Structure 1
Amino acid sequence: MADILIIDTDKDFAAHMAKDLSRHEIDTTYCNSIAKAIGLLHTGNYKAVILDEDLPEGKVLDYITAIRKIQPYPEVIVLSQNGDPNTAEQAVQNGAWDYITKPPSIHRIIAIINRVKEYHTERQAKCSPVSLRREGIIGNSRTLQSCLDKVAQASTSDTNVLITGNTGTGKELFAKAIHKNSAREKNPFVVVDCAALPDTLAENLLFGHERGAYTSADSSSVGLIKQADGGTLFLDEIGELPLAMQKVFLRVLEGRCFRPVGGVKEITSNFRLLAATNRDLEGMVSSKEFRQDLFYRLRGIHIQLPPLQTISEDINDLTCHFIRRHCQQLKIDSKGFSPDFLNALMLYEWPGNIRELINTIEQAISRAETETILYPRHLPRTIRAHIAKRELEKNAPKAVKKENKIADAANYPDLKTYRNEQTAGIEKRYLKDLIEITQGNIKQSCHISGLSRARLYALIKQHGITRISSR
């Protein structure tokens, strides 16, 4: 497996450099585009990337950060034809290891690569393996594993962590995993739902109050921040925190001390901070909706959780887990599922992510009643209808091409005949799927298709489709 990847549009130059490096026992491969490089990086184990500044696919500076995020996080050495000092500065700021001009001295390249290898060896030696308890996180996709690596990294320190991702991707689950794998695991894990904090009571809930602070304050109250003393404070939906409270909380974060409402003395709380949001905080900083100083404080370690649609290879494991868990909760025998059931789950886009998948599986188990195997018919009708529509859109053009191969020009139909034949075929396939999905429910079929009852009946009769009811 190669250690070094060269990305350069000049194939002769790249091949020559790779050959020179190989003579010095540095295993090297090369390609001529970012697109090809990304594929190689995802399947390889490269320690360094030698990147031509003059690629036609855009500004190379934009690709440095993206390359360095791919495991095992290779270093980037930028090659420049012009050697512009400003570009060199920007490249290093973007994370480049070095910036050198063409044609480079092979001895200089070798020296740089050897330093990179030494750095990687030293870093791996200092990073003792972390035995990570997943705490209910399911999946083995490369993307998810990258997130788990960051959980392991976060669990060995007290650095602030920002977890971002769409609704339903499991942000709180990852926050709990960090807490449970940290030295604070035996102390409290306190959740603050920033979206549910009332403006008038926010300080009271966070900081607590002393007796007599309000007319009805007959006794003192410990706030959520103090409750997290020695443990972890998890600010869920931090993007919903009002600007005024952002300023107040920033002061608490800087000193880990605060004054309860109605209090005179400041009290301290030794908490570790985790925060999560489904909003674009960088965009909110730009639009002055979120404080820049607080944003940088939060983002000590950043974990970006993937949408379920992008890690479809994990759906099988997730499905098995949630079926088994729900059946245990119901105290019934665990159910199996057909290949078609899994295929349907893989085809769906999951806008609600894992939370929606859990709800869907629970509905399917409920619909299956005493049946031991889950089939597509047990899925919610909205999901089946969506899948049928996608499949029809995807397969219709292929079907037209496949069914209309002609032997010679003499048999080729006129446009009207051709159009009518194809329309009829598409209509029939659509209606058969529609009736199957709705289990013959005419009212629902009309709603999904947009057809009137009379028109739907006429088309069903025209195409000879059975299995309908008058519902």
Structure 2
Amino acid sequence: MAKILVIDDDVDICLMLCDVVEVIGHQAEYAKTLGKGVDMVLAGEYDVVLLDVNMPDGNGLEALQTIRSVARPPEVIIITGVGDPDSAELAIRNGAWDYIQKPLSSQKIILRLKRVLQYNDSLKSSSARAWAFSRQGIVGDSSKLNTCLDEIATASSSNGNVIILGETGTGKELLARTLHANSRRKEHKFVVVDCASLTETLVKSTLFGHERGAFTGADRSMEGLVKQADGGTLFLDEVGELSLESQKVFLRVLQEHSFRPIGGKSEVESDFRLISATHRDVDKMVCEKQFRQDLFYRLCAITIEVPPLRERPEDIEQLVTYFTNNLCRRYSIPPKEISPDFLEALYGYLWPGNVRELYNVVEAAVSTSNLEQQLCSQHLPTNIRIHAVRSSIKKDNDSGAGSTPDWPAVELPPFKQYRDGIRERAEKQYLGRLMEISRGSIKEACRISRLGRTHLYALLKKYNISKTGWSE
């Protein structure tokens, strides 16, 4: 029996949906406010949440990430009286299962619920495999990273072509290796093709190999990368850099899984699984005739998007600790502590180079600190220290929750990121002041803030605020 929660301010709709759920043999509960509904999700384990968008105390879409951040996240079906394509896209991108418009019919709801519950059952049946999933050195526990890893785990159980999209430095190759290591092909090779370095003259020789004497200088036979990946995984790194001629070559290999080495007299077969990665907008490249549409469709049977580091700042401390410990072992120096001001400076930076840039910054800091026991902000590069100081001064000059993040003049962030930045600053400031006023009393803090105990604990954990952090 599944457990389903309805969050809607219309009691009649709540009761109707609960009746539908119970008719098909499942348990239903409802909440008339968004705050109450989120508290119930944080306190219990639900399989599905039917969530309204326009609630008296908030927007359901803005609560999606909180609902999906619990240890065992429920699937969320958005129900709304005003359908909006942009809101529907936002809902799906933030993890919603479906987005349906009122008026609601019993048939429409039952169909959605049966589909989502069948999906949940299939996940439970493969729980033993999910339990054994190897992260391969991937560090972080943010909801966005975990969603990405869930997609990697699902893809590893299939044999379809996968394309991994993400900005430079987000760890696309590491995720590709993780996918391979959790697949049925893990005992065979993971072969990397650096598409950016493939030249027109060498592409066929590099991919397909050649026979001895096939051309001047071919004094011995050479096996190509495609054959080396036989039984394993062929990884096309930065596939967006392929020339149109190279794309044509790859298309035939993907169709036939066979090729002829240069100078060879017969076709050679290779049973490989293809994973691609790129930081470029391939959809746009297809529209501009820079990338073959037929090849693009073959590459993206499964699409996985890697979140940039600025969208998962809660992972920064774990990453810094992991990098620091590894670097200290490599350099054979004593472990180093990490000061709060060091982390604070890193939190405020936008990380255009993502995790790779963070690693380089930590490596430079460890080298600069030499035998000092603690990493401090003084060990950081000048540009990050300047950004931290500018942000601090601007925050002091701005008033209350209306303060805005100090974005670089050359880069205006997306609206949602800008809005979330303001909201997170305000929430963190409020919670710190709340703990000070209540002197660490959760009961008193709940009375003042009118937050549920579970919700308050979740927010304190999210912002790493201790209830005993107030001053005497």
- TM-score band w.r.t. shorter chain: 0.7 to 0.9
Q: How far apart, in 2, do the equivalents of 1:235 and 1:18 lie?
A: 49
User: CA 1:77–1:392 in 2, change beyond 3 Å: closer, same or farther?
Assistant: same
Per the TM alignment, residue 28 of structure 1 is displaced from its structure 2 partner at its CA by 3.7
Gaps of 5+ in 1: 80-101, 403-471
Q: How far apart, in 1, do the equivalents of 2:120 and 2:195 lie?
A: 43
Name the counterpart of 2:29.
Answer: 27
Could you list the per-position Cα deviations for residues 30-80 of structure 1 after superposition, in whole angstroms to 9, with x for gaps in the alignment?
Answer: 54439712233223355452533634xxx33x4445434544x5233333x
Q: How far apart, in 2, do the equivalents of 1:190 and 1:321 lie?
A: 27
Per the TM alignment, residue 395 of structure 1 is displaced from its structure 2 partner at its CA by 2.7
CA contact (8 A) 2:53 2:78 kept: no
Could you list the per-position Cα deviations for residues 429-462 of structure 1 after superposition, in whole angstroms to 9, with x for gaps in the alignment?
Answer: xxxxxxxxxxxxxxxxxxxxxxxxxxxxxxxxxx
SS in 2 for 1:27: strand
Letter in 2 for 1:375: C
Name the counterpart of 2:59.
Answer: 36
User: CA 1:339–1:220 in 2, change beyond 3 Å: closer, same or farther?
Assistant: same
Correspondence 1:175 to 2:176: yes
Name the counterpart of 2:11.
Answer: 15
Name the counterpart of 2:262.
Answer: 261
Letter in 2 for 1:119: Q
Name the counterpart of 1:51.
Answer: 79
Name the counterpart of 1:115.
Answer: 114
CA contact (8 A) 1:6 1:49 kept: no
Identity among equivalent pairs (%): 42
Could you list the per-position Cα deviations for residues 322-351 of structure 1 after superposition, in whole angstroms to 9, with x for gaps in the alignment?
Answer: 000001110111111111111111111111
Name the counterpart of 1:74.
Answer: 97
Q: How far apart, in 2, do the equivalents of 1:113 and 1:152 lie?
A: 24
CA contact (8 A) 1:336 1:372 kept: yes
Could you list the per-position Cα deviations for residues 239-288 of structure 1 after superposition, in whole angstroms to 9, with x for gaps in the alignment?
Answer: 00001111110110111101111222110111111111010001111111
SS in 1 for 2:101: strand
1:188-337 to 2 correspondences below 5 Å: 188-337=189-338
CA contact (8 A) 1:47 1:116 kept: no
SS in 1 for 2:91: helix
Letter in 2 for 1:22: C
Q: How far apart, in 2, do the equivalents of 1:149 and 1:261 lie?
A: 41
User: CA 1:329–1:114 in 2, change beyond 3 Å: closer, same or farther?
Assistant: closer
Could you list the per-position Cα deviations for residues 133-159 of structure 1 after superposition, in whole angstroms to 9, with x for gaps in the alignment?
Answer: 111100000000011111111221221
Q: How far apart, in 2, do the equivalents of 1:110 and 1:219 lie?
A: 66
SS in 2 for 1:153: helix
User: CA 1:248–1:110 in 2, change beyond 3 Å: closer, same or farther?
Assistant: closer
Letter in 1 for 2:77: V
Please identify, of 14-23 and 25-34, the stretch whose mean Cα deviation from structure 2 is larger.
Answer: 25-34
Name the counterpart of 1:430.
Answer: none
Q: How far apart, in 1, do the equivalents of 2:251 and 2:161 lie?
A: 13
> Normalising by the residue count of structure 1, what TM-score does the alignment of the two structures yield?
0.72
1:414-453 to 2 correspondences below 5 Å: none
Letter in 2 for 1:148: L
Q: Number of residue pairs matched? A: 367
CA contact (8 A) 2:53 2:79 kept: no
Letter in 2 for 1:67: A
User: CA 1:380–1:299 in 2, change beyond 3 Å: closer, same or farther?
Assistant: same
User: CA 1:157–1:50 in 2, change beyond 3 Å: closer, same or farther?
Assistant: closer
Please identify, of 18-27 and 263-272, the stretch whose mean Cα deviation from structure 2 is larger.
Answer: 18-27
Q: How far apart, in 2, do the equivalents of 1:151 and 1:335 lie?
A: 33
Name the counterpart of 1:379.
Answer: 380
Task: Give the number of the structure whose alpha-carbon radius of gyration is greater.
Answer: 1
Q: How far apart, in 2, do the equivalents of 1:114 and 1:302 lie?
A: 25
Q: How far apart, in 2, do the equivalents of 1:50 and 1:215 lie?
A: 64
Letter in 1 for 2:29: D
Please identify, of 263-272 and 318-327, the stretch whose mean Cα deviation from structure 2 is larger.
Answer: 263-272
